[in-house]
Structure 1
Amino acid sequence: MMRFIGLVLLVFITGCSQSDKVTLHAGDSILAFGDSLTVSVGAKNSTYPQQLAQLTGLEVIASGVSGEQTAQGLERFKRALDTHQVQAVVLLEGGNDFLRNQDSGQTKANLGAMITHAQSKGIAVILVAVPTKSLFLSDAPLYQQLSEQYQVVLVADILSELLGDNRFKSDAIHLNDQGYRRLALAIADVIEVER
Structure 2
Amino acid sequence: MFKRILISIGSALAMHAVQAAEPVILVFGDSLSAGYGIAAEQAWPKLLEKELARQGKKFRVVNASVSGETTAGGLTRFPASLKQHQPQWVILALGANDGLRGLPVAGIKNNLATMISQAQKSGAKVHLIGMQMPPNYGASYTQQFAAVYPALAKQYQLSLSPFLLAPIIDQDRYFQADQLHPTASAQALLLKYIQQQFKP
Q: Does TM, normalized by the shorter one, top 0.5?
A: yes
Unmatched 5+ stretches in structure 1: 1-25
Structure 2 CA distance for partners of 1:56 and 1:191, relative to 1, 3 Å: farther
Considering Cα pairs closer than 8 Å and 6+ residues apart, tell me whether 1 or 2 has the greater RCO: 1
Using structure 1 for the length normalisation, give the TM-score: 0.78
- Find the residue that maps to 1:187 and give its secondary structure: helix
Q: CA-atom RMSD, angstroms?
A: 2.2
- Find the residue that maps to 1:78 and give its secondary structure: helix
Name the structure with the higher helix share: 2
Mean Cα deviation higher: 137-146 or 109-118? 137-146
The structure 2 residue matched to 1:32, chosen from 23, 27, 31, is: 27
**Paired-residue identity, %:** 33
Amino acid at match of 1:42: G
Note the C-alpha offset of 1:161.
4.0
Unmatched 5+ stretches in structure 2: 1-20, 54-58
Q: 1: CA distance between counterparts of 2:98 and 2:163?
A: 18
Amino acid at match of 2:44: Y
Name the structure with the higher strand share: 1
Cα deviations by residue, 1:2-34 (Å, 9 ceiling, x for unpaired):
xxxxxxxxxxxxxxxxxxxxxxxx932100111
Q: 2: CA distance between counterparts of 1:167 and 1:87?
A: 35
Count of aligned positions: 168
Q: 2: CA distance between counterparts of 1:164 and 1:76?
A: 33
Mean Cα deviation higher: 165-174 or 90-99? 165-174
Q: 2: CA distance between counterparts of 1:162 and 1:27?
A: 32
**Counterpart for residue 70 of structure 1:** 71
Q: 1: CA distance between counterparts of 2:192 and 2:161?
A: 11
- Find the residue that maps to 1:91 and give its secondary structure: strand
**Counterpart for residue 56 of structure 2:** none
Q: 2: CA distance between counterparts of 1:186 and 1:68?
A: 22
Say yes or no: does 1:55 pair with 2:76. Answer: no
The structure 1 residue matched to 2:156, chosen from 145, 150, 153, is: 150
Q: Aligned runs of 1:74-85 on 2, under 5 Å?
A: 74-85=75-86
- Find the residue that maps to 1:159 and give its secondary structure: coil
- Find the residue that maps to 2:135 and give its secondary structure: coil
Using structure 2 for the length normalisation, give the TM-score: 0.76
Superposition misfits of 4+ residues, deviation over 4 angstroms: 135-139
